[in-house]
Copies of this chain bind each other. A is one copy, B any other.
Amino acid sequence: MYAVIFTATMKLADDEYFETAARMRELALSRYGCREFTALSEGNQEIAISYWDSESDISAWKSDPAHQQAQRLGREQWYASYRVQVARVERQYQQGGESL
């Protein structure tokens, strides 16, 4: 399992941003094999973590045309700065709630 950790400082969060973020989440889950997608924001900070079975799923998602357009708008309009990390989940444990 891979986790893509996206952390950003927002510059502008307008209606188009929220609509696009919701659409991108849905697209990742429905068409690209994303296993889980969690995003939180507090003040102008955002963290989004998505989970994937393989690096090739991540690459396919990154290359989706609608996602490419969203990434361009992110760079140009919405984010003051951001970082993307691809990490391999080596182990996990949990208490309560649902299993992955």
Q: Which residues of A contact B (CB under 8 A)?
A: 3, 5, 7, 9, 38, 40-42, 45-47, 49, 75, 79-97, 100
Contact = CB atoms under 8 A, between A and B. Distances in A.
Given A38-B47, A45-B40, A47-B40, A79 B96 contact: yes
Contacts of A85: 3, 89, 91-92
Contacts of A75: 95
22 contacts: A3-B5, A3-B87, A5-B89, A9-B96, A40-B41, A40-B42, A40-B45, A40-B47, A42-B42, A47-B49, A80-B97, A81-B94, A81-B96, A82-B96, A82-B97, A83-B92, A84-B92, A85-B89, A86-B90, A86-B92, A87-B89, A88-B88
